[in-house]
Structure 1
């Protein structure tokens, strides 16, 4: 699977975990040069608290487009150390 936005590959891996239709990539596959810190947080009733990264690619910002669960609940343990994408990021084979 490959995650792309604004003409750039953000992550690529054949080891993704699918939860609720979202591919969670290993955090190590994320190209850090396109990622910046975000204070944004949301809560999921069964996964726990999600943290976010923003993307900065080719001069354009995509705020809070990457999310991850640093300490997921036991029920979502399979996504620990993984990131997922939204906000226009294409995830495809």
Structure 2
């Protein structure tokens, strides 16, 4: 356990020093870059909502069993529908 703690601390210290000793880049950042980041986060949130939509529906109390059944317009065995 001590060895794992020492290794984790040394890796963390290395990354802190790496960030602290980085020289400035003085680079140009496009003003639209922030909007691209916001758009990316929004699309990831929408994808997660779509992927977990059934769980979200259950969270708000909408189960598949609680929905009203669709009324049948044709009798059993009759494939024709009235026009």
Q: What's the TM-score bracket when you normalise by the shorter of the two chains?
A: under 0.3
Higher RCO structure (Cα 8 Å, ≥6 apart) = 1
Question: Taking structure 2 as the reference length, what is the TM-score of the superposition?
Answer: 0.16
- Larger C-alpha radius of gyration, 1 or 2? 2
Q: By percentage of residues, which structure has more helix? A: 2
